Structure 1
Amino acid sequence: AETIYTLVEVMSYHSKLPCFEAGVAGRLAGLRDRLFLNMPEEKVAVSIRSMVERSYDHFGTTKYDQFQVFSNGIAK
């Protein structure tokens, strides 16, 4: 995760990419949060498990899976 963050940080330097137009600092802070880099390692597994449990059989997840089966033949 740290490597991904560092690569994005390097890419953002003087970048003209649309994703950085609103400001680099906010984007990088959001990425740090999404990669759990601001969280103690022992809490990361708990957070990820919670995310998986919330998404399992969730309406949106189920519909996305159905769309994938219909459009790409990808089954659960």
Structure 2
Amino acid sequence: AETIYTLVEVMSYHSKLPCFEAGVAGRLAGLRDRLFLNMPEEKVAASIRSMVERSYDHFGTTKYDQFQVFSNGIAK
């Protein structure tokens, strides 16, 4: 995860990519959060498990899975 973060950080330097137009610092901070880099390693597994449990059989997840089956033939 740290390697991915570092690659994005290097790519963002003087970047004209639209994803960085609103400001690099905020984007990088959000990426650190999404990659769990600000969280102690012993808490990461529990956080991921919680995310999976919240999304399992959630309306939005179910509809997205149905869309994938319909549009791309990707089964759940």
TM-score (norm 2): 0.98
Q: How far off its partner does 1:45 sit? A: 0.3
Task: Point out 4+ residue stretches in structure 1 off by more than 3 angstroms.
Answer: none
Identity of paired residues, percent? Answer: 99
Q: Which runs of 5+ in 1 are unaligned?
A: none
Structure-2 separation of matches of 1:44 and 1:68: 28
TM-score (norm 1): 0.98
Question: Which secondary structure state, in structure 2, belongs to the residue aligned with residue 47 of structure 1?
Answer: helix
Q: Deviations over 1:9-54 (max 9, x none)?
A: 0000000111111110010000000000000000000000000000
Structure-1 separation of matches of 2:75 and 2:23: 39
Structure-2 separation of matches of 1:67 and 1:18: 27
State the number of aligned residues: 76
Structure-2 separation of matches of 1:30 and 1:63: 26
Residue matched to 1:41:
41
Q: How far off its partner does 1:65 sit? A: 0.4
Q: Which runs of 5+ in 2 are unaligned?
A: none
- CA RMSD, aligned part only? 0.4
